[in-house]
Amino acid sequence: MKIALVQLNYIVGDIEGNSKMILENIERAVSDGADLVVFSELSICGYPPLDLLEKRIFVQQCIDAIQDIAASIQNNTGVIVGGPDFNRAEEGKLLFNAAFFLRDGKIEQVFRKSLLPTYDIFDEYRYFEPNRRFEILNFKDRNIAVTICEDLWDDQPMESEFSRSRLYTRHPLEEMMKFKPDFVINIAASPFSANKQEVKQHIFTDKSKKHKLPVFVVNQVGANTELIFEGGSLISSPNGIICHQLQLFNNDYIVADLEQVKKGTTSEIPGLPPRIELIRSGLVTGIKDYFIKSGFKKATLGLSGGIDSAVTLALAMEALGRKNVDVLLMPSQYSSAHSIEDSVKLAENLGVQYSILSIKKIFNLFRETLQPVFNDMPEDIAEENIQSRIRSTLLMALSNKMGHILLNTSNKSETAVGYGTLYGDMAGGLSVLGDVYKTDVYALAEFINSGKEIIPRNIIEKPPSAELKPGQVDADSLPPYDILDEILELFIEKQYGADQIIEIGHQSDLVQRIIRSVNVNEYKRYQTPPILRISSKSFGAGRRMPIVGRY
């Protein structure tokens, strides 16, 4: 038996466009002699469709499209497509997350997802009823265990100590083993996390090894709003060795021979790229798809002479092309000459268009206008924030006038502790670095410079500063970023308490101050743009904390 795995970049809600891609690849697979063609989870509608699933007409359109695809299959080829299915029982949720098996012009069998994740960014039980009845696919004298994403993740390790090694009381593949399957199909929509690539591979190879079965996994690729999918679909042999792996961050396709997989015959499998390269690829994918799928082409951002805006510009240029990125340099009386020079050099290195608009005059007018209200009070953070908001106003004006999307350049370290100005440097249509700690921003800069110097060395080496008052540097308000980032990762990703972080060796007063800063700035993060997710715990839909509370 020959099995085609088709890894595609779907657009959420574009049922017609997704159907067209699926049909084209079925035709391709048939011409390549495939017996079974497999697409990813919810491929007909894209993942995640969210509350579109609450519209009956949307679900019906998905099912109609799958029936149309089935009608086009007039040979003995089998096709597995992911989509929502109605729950026709009198009780329970209205839908199932399903895998439709198509053959000979019709939907021949439907398999439903059993394990519905409700952690981090997932909220599948909001929409779907879990499957409780297990069956097997018999196709061309082979018994096939058809599973959907989380169904094989019942043994996943969790980063938080407040979790179990086994999240679920039901284990789909174990229950399907009574049918004596010859191999396992898993259709997935598994989001990218830079720290979990090896873990993700081991989930599938461990299942192969445990049950001595080939496992064929099809993941989707591309980005939908903040979620990025790396692809990396794979085939694992019965001894737990990856035989074939599809590309990361690209559409890809393979037709594999089942008998060769059973023998453990492998193609040349490239190792996983370094973590920083994965982050770079993920962010570029996220930017590119956000623009393409939103119908925009061009981006605007402010270039400050700092590391964050420099890295954001380099990534945006790679994703969109130099002709599709415009930048503003907006110096004030507190901006250093080298910040302007560094920004100009960076823009010229990348070949992007830039303009210099001084905010000194506008800032002075603001101060004069507010003088009767401020009544000679000493200047403080209020005046600092005015500068940031002036810059945001100019950037949004350019964005509106030119029809661009404003890219936000704030990093995760600063966003976590509220070191940013609401409606100022926290504004934008998309946050590129909002899930990237500052130490990783520096690592990205070095990676971007690995071939030749693109980001000027001075931007990387100088002390970071917001330059909103004379002599200001980040170290005046924040601990060194390597210490800050370690504490933040323990608190946010691993969900350690203060006592545990202090036990590891961090100073008590510093830990308490950082945790308080994270907690009291939830209201700021609630108002930020979508943040491209590259970690296991990004700010946004995956981290739901109360704004008003005393914990």
pLDDT digits (tens, 9 = 90+) for 355-385: 999 999 999 999 999 999 999 899 999 999 9
pLDDT-derived band at 269, boundaries 50, 70, 90: confident
> At a CB cut-off of 8 Å and minimum separation 6, what does 498 contact?
508, 511, 512, 515
- Across the range 410-420, mean pLDDT stands at 96
DSSP, res 322:
G
**Angle between the N-to-C axes of helices 438-448 and 275-294, in degrees from 0 to 180, rounded to the nearest 10:** 90
Judge whether residue 443 has pLDDT over 70: yes
Active site residue 486: no
- % pLDDT > 90, the chain: 85
Cis amide leading into 84 (omega within 30): no
290/241 Cα distance (integer angstroms): 35
440: left (phi over 0), alpha (psi -120 to 50) or beta: alpha
Of residues 406, 450, 459, 458, the one with CA closest to residue 432: 406
Mean model confidence pLDDT for the chain: 94
| Phi/psi of residue 112, nearest 5 degrees | -120, 145
Q: Beta strand pairing status for 36-38 and 183-187?
A: unpaired
pLDDT, residue 545, reads: 87
List, for residues 470-501, the tens digit of each pLDDT value.
777 777 788 999 999 999 999 999 999 999 99
Return the structure tokens found at 158.
């969790």
- Report yes or no: 430 and 288 within 8 Å, Cβ to Cβ: no
Give the pLDDT band (50/70/90) at residue 201.
very high
Residues in the chain: 551
Give yes or no for a contact between 99 and 110, defined as CB atoms under 8 angstroms apart: yes
Q: Is the pLDDT of residue 167 over 80?
A: no
Tell me the two tokens of residue 70: 């089935």
Q: Could you tell me where the DSSP H helices lie in 251-359? A: 258-263, 275-294, 307-320, 337-350
Among 537, 551, 544, CA closest to 194: 537
pLDDT tens, 274-318? 999 999 999 999 999 999 999 999 999 999 999 999 999 999 999
Q: Is residue 467 scored above 70 in pLDDT? A: no
Identified catalytic residue from 45, 62, 129, 149: 149
Which of 463, 457, 478 minimizes the C-alpha distance to 310? 457
What residue type is 121 in one-letter code? I
Q: What pLDDT is stored for residue 83 in this prediction?
A: 98
| Residue 542 pLDDT | 87
- More confident of the two residues 277 and 548: 277
Q: Exposed, middle or buried: residue 514 (CB in 10 Å: 0-12, 13-18, 19+)?
A: buried
Q: Which structural domains are found in the chain, ordered by start? A: 2-270 (3.60.110.10), 278-474+520-525 (3.40.50.620)
537 catalytically annotated: no
Mean pLDDT on 128-140: 96
Cβ neighbourhood burial of 289 (10 Å; 0-12, 13-18, 19+): buried
SS3 content of the chain, % helix, strand, coil (to 5): 40, 20, 40
Provide the token pair at 214.
């080939």
- Look at residue 348 and give its three-state secondary structure: helix
Residue 162: the pLDDT is: 57
Q: Retrieve residue 522's tokens.
A: 């939830």
The whole-number pLDDT of residue 165 equals 59
The model's pLDDT over 8-61, given as tens digits with 9 standing for 90+, comes to 999 999 999 999 999 999 999 999 999 999 999 999 999 999 999 999 999 999
Q: How far apart are CA 433 and CA 531, in angstroms?
A: 7
Summarize the confidence of residues 388-398 as an average pLDDT.
Answer: 96
**Euclidean distance between CA atoms 408 and 422, whole angstroms:** 12
- Whether 149 is catalytic is yes
| C-alpha to C-alpha distance for 528 and 161, rounded to whole angstroms | 29
CA nearest 398: which of 329, 341, 314?
A: 329
Does 92 have pLDDT greater than 70? Answer: yes
pLDDT of residue 466: 67
Q: Give the pLDDT score at 534.
A: 97
Residue 163, pLDDT > 70, answer: no
Q: Point out the catalytic residue in the list 113, 200, 412, 537.
A: 113
DSSP assigned state of 531: B
